[in-house]
Amino acid sequence: MANLIINSLTVPTNIKQGTALTIALSVTAQQEDFDEGAAYNLLVFVNGLSAGLLGGAPLVKKGTLQDATFNATSVIVNFTVNAGSSPDVYTITALALGGPSGAIFETISSAGPVVVHA
């Protein structure tokens, strides 16, 4: 059983080019791991059919359970990236890593498509 579970990945269905795209990742940690302050590493990949990987790298939030980002067993972590040029279609993939150093695969989730328009 996974120690970090991605419950949902929420994105809009469309967004205007050049505006902020907010990605909401709902994640739950097992109580035992939360109590121990285990490490986590959350990665979000925003891939456009035209633009490719936005920013050239995944969006990353990492730390230990009980820190400011992960201050309860279930949290919503927001990621933001600016939408590129239109027309484009984005898919979003989120990956949760956990364990002693935040490097053990836990869960993966995807969302989209997100249509980028003028």
Question: Distance (Å, rounded) from C-alpha 79 to C-alpha 61?
Answer: 9
User: How far separated are the first and last CA of the chain, in Å rounded?
Assistant: 44
**HSE of 38, CA atoms in CB hemisphere, 13 A:** 22
Note the pTM of the prediction, 2 decimals: 0.95
Name beta bridge partners: 118.
Answer: none
User: How many other β-carbons are positioned within 10 Å of the β-carbon of residue 86?
Assistant: 16
36-62 pLDDT tens trace: 999 999 999 999 999 999 988 999 999
Average pLDDT over residues 68-95: 97
CATH topology assigned to domain 4-112:
Immunoglobulin-like (2.60.40)
Q: Where are the domains of the chain?
A: 4-112
Q: Is the pLDDT of residue 2 over 70?
A: no
Task: Give Rg (Cα) of the chain.
Answer: 15
